[in-house]
Amino acid sequence: MDLKTKALTKSIWVFHFASASCNNCDIEILDALTPKFDLERFGILLIGSIRHADAMLVTGAVSHKGAVRLKRLYEQAPKPCLVVAVGCCACSMSIFRDSYNMAGPVDRLIPVHAYIPGCPPKPEAIIMGVVKLIKALKKG
Amino acid sequence: MAKTLFYFIVFPGFLFTALVGLLVSWIDRKVTARVQWRVGPPILQPLYDFVKLLGKETIVPQAGSRLTFLLSPLLGLAAVTIVSTILWLAMASPEVTFLGDLIVVIYLLTIPSISVIIGGFASGNPLASLGASREMKMILAYELPFILAIFTPVIKAHGVIRLGELLRYQWGNGIFLSSWSGFIAFVVAIICMQAKLALVPFDIPEAETEIIAGPYIEYSGAPLAVYKLTRWMMLFVVPIFLVIMFMGGIVFSGWHILWGILKYVLLLVLIILIRNTNPRLRIDQAIKFFWGPMTILAVMGIILAFLGI
């Protein structure tokens, strides 16, 4: 593992993209950043600008309007940028599968590196997903 | 020549200031975490952040001005390095300082803010321009009371504008902080320092919840790393400047070094506590605060200093 990857795994700045989400996943993501779980221990910070991001958390089934923004944001992110689909909607559309206004699950639009299922996933599950992602990065 | 280069690049210039800056920003984050009842990041966290940013892709926005956008971070970094070199050399050997280095230091301490303004305007992003214009207003607001507060020690030392002589005056006649005028000026200077470092009551230029990251919004990769490093170095250099002006600096002999470092750490923890216990002001409130109460306090300090209190 080279220095660049090591530094990346130790300091992941997260950009939070909520596309037509019901807000449950968003609340659980914010829970994972609160003092109880304290993700700053692992160098994970929530940041506001996509240009600073190392990881993009996408929640919700992506609507046709959201899809344009999602693709554009992914292009604007400096690479390497990891994409994590949080919640059932982002992973597989769940109950919105046949809706007329949905552009599809996240992995049909941009490459996804980790899936965290659950409706909504617990903060523990989100942390576990991030840990698995970091382990996969370390393996290369 | 080699000696000068060594001063600028290794000690007490760039390398030393950068390393201490990394450590200081870790102290900042750790104390903040403890105040919020968290564990906080490990000690190497700022280094990881810095190395990671260096390894990322650098994107130059299409609407921006390429050369200005990429060069402005270096402007601030160079200014902080020079200030650090001047300050530490003044403490290490007070005899060799040049006349008027106090004025040079005050000017150079403004340059990092100006580099942020230039970078923000060169980004071609509306939020960055907004942040840069707020930064400009902040400079106009805090520079007046800051310079007035710095006048007080100068008047008390009978018009000396050489850092080395200011230090020797304090070593001979007691520190300026122990007098009433010095104390008032010190309070004003601490609050202006908070604005200079863009920490919470006055982090209006990069207000996270309103304009996301302000002037830094379009920066990614290495230029962002340089900006972050500049801010961490400022967190080290500006309190050291106040320690020199009001608290007698750091004396390089035996136990006095530890006492000097303690002075700096106390000032740093004070900054962090102010930052963690205050909400953010609006830009108009900040300007009123600095041009009203702070300027009046600073002028009172000057009058008291003329009276010799």
% of chain A exceeding 70 in pLDDT: 99
Give B56's contacts in chain A (Cβ within 8 Å): 54, 78-80
Closest Cβ opposite residue B224 in set A38, A52, A80: A52
Q: How many helices (H) and strands (E) does chain A have?
A: 5, 7
% of chain A exceeding 90 in pLDDT: 0
Give B212's contacts in chain A (Cβ within 8 Å): 48-49
Q: What is the pLDDT of residues B200-252, one digit of tens each?
A: 888 888 877 778 888 888 888 889 999 999 999 999 999 999 988 888 878 77
Closest Cβ opposite residue B220 in set A7, A38, A78: A78
Q: How many beta carbons lie within 10 A of that of residue B306, not counting itself?
A: 12
Cα gap B81→A123, rounded to integer Å: 43
Residues in contact with B101: Cβ distance below 8 Å, sequence separation at least 6, in sequence order: B86, B90, B161, B162, B163
* Residue of chain A whose alpha carbon sits nearest to that of B206: A48
CATH (domain of A74) = 3.40.50.12280
Taking an 8 Å cut-off on Cβ atoms, the answer to whether A11 and B37 are in contact is: no
Q: How many beta carbons lie within 10 A of that of residue B110, not counting itself?
A: 15
Assess if residue A1 is contained within a domain: no
Taking an 8 Å cut-off on Cβ atoms, the answer to whether B56 and A80 are in contact is: yes
Give B41's contacts in chain A (Cβ within 8 Å): 40-41, 43
A52 close to B (CB below 8 A): yes
Q: How many beta carbons lie within 10 A of that of residue B4, not counting itself?
A: 10
Give the range of the structural domain holding residue A102, as residue numbers without chain letter: 14-139
Q: What is the pLDDT of residues B97-110, one digit of tens each?
A: 788 888 999 999 99
pLDDT of residue B296: 93
A72 close to B (CB below 8 A): no
Give A10's contacts in chain B (Cβ within 8 Å): 44-45, 48, 52
Taking an 8 Å cut-off on Cβ atoms, the answer to whether A41 and B42 are in contact is: yes
Q: DSSP letters along B286-306, please?
A: HHHHIIIIIHHHHHHHHHHHH
pLDDT of residue B189: 92
pLDDT of residue B23: 92
B126 close to A (CB below 8 A): no
Assess if residue A4 is contained within a domain: no
Question: Beta A102-104 vs A62-63: how paired, if at all?
Answer: antiparallel
B26 close to A (CB below 8 A): no
Q: Which of A31, A47, A51, A72 is the best residue to mutate to test the B interface, defined by the most B CB atoms within 10 Å of its own CB?
A: A51
pLDDT of residue A1: 65
Taking an 8 Å cut-off on Cβ atoms, the answer to whether A79 and B45 are in contact is: no
B295 close to A (CB below 8 A): no
Cα gap A88→A95, rounded to integer Å: 9
Taking an 8 Å cut-off on Cβ atoms, the answer to whether A35 and B36 are in contact is: yes
Taking an 8 Å cut-off on Cβ atoms, the answer to whether A49 and B48 are in contact is: no
Q: What is the pLDDT of residues B28-38, one digit of tens each?
A: 999 989 888 88
Question: Beta A114-116 vs A82-86: how paired, if at all?
Answer: parallel
Backbone dihedral region for residue A91 (phi beyond 0: left; psi -120 to 50: alpha; all else: beta) = alpha
B222 close to A (CB below 8 A): no
Token representation of residue B161 = 């504008």
Closest Cβ opposite residue A48 in set B48, B57, B208: B208
Give B39's contacts in chain A (Cβ within 8 Å): 38, 41
pLDDT tens digits, chain B, 309 residues: what are they?
788 787 777 777 788 888 999 999 999 999 989 888 888 888 988 998 898 888 888 888 888 788 888 889 999 999 999 899 888 888 888 777 788 888 999 999 999 999 999 988 888 888 888 889 999 999 999 999 999 999 888 888 888 888 888 888 888 887 878 888 889 999 999 999 999 888 888 888 887 777 888 888 888 888 999 999 999 999 999 999 998 888 887 877 778 888 888 988 999 999 999 988 988 888 889 999 999 999 999 999 899 988 877
Assess if residue A27 is contained within a domain: yes
Give the range of the structural domain holding residue B45, as residue numbers without chain letter: 2-307
The alpha carbon of residue B274 is apart from the nearest alpha carbon of chain A, in Å, by 20
Assess if residue A71 is contained within a domain: yes
Assess if residue A98 is contained within a domain: yes
Scanning the structure block, which residue is given the tokens 């403490």? B91
Q: Which of A14, A40, A75 is the best residue to mutate to test the B interface, defined by the most B CB atoms within 10 Å of its own CB?
A: A40
pLDDT of residue A113: 87
A38 close to B (CB below 8 A): yes
When divided into structural domains, chain A yields a total of: 1
Question: For the ranges A52-56, A102-106, B274-278, B303-307, which has the lowest average pLDDT?
Answer: A102-106
Q: Which of B295, B289, B245 is nearest to B145 (CA)?
A: B295
B43 close to A (CB below 8 A): no
Give B69's contacts in chain A (Cβ within 8 Å): none
Scanning the structure block, which residue is given the tokens 């006492």? B259
| Contact by Cβ (8 Å): B102, B163 | yes
pLDDT of residue B62: 84
Scanning the structure block, which residue is given the tokens 């996804």? A112
Peptide bond before A120: cis, by omega within 30 degrees of 0? yes
Mean pLDDT, rounded, for A73-93: 87
Taking an 8 Å cut-off on Cβ atoms, the answer to whether B40 and A47 are in contact is: no
Q: What is the pLDDT of residues A63-79, one digit of tens each?
A: 888 889 888 989 888 88
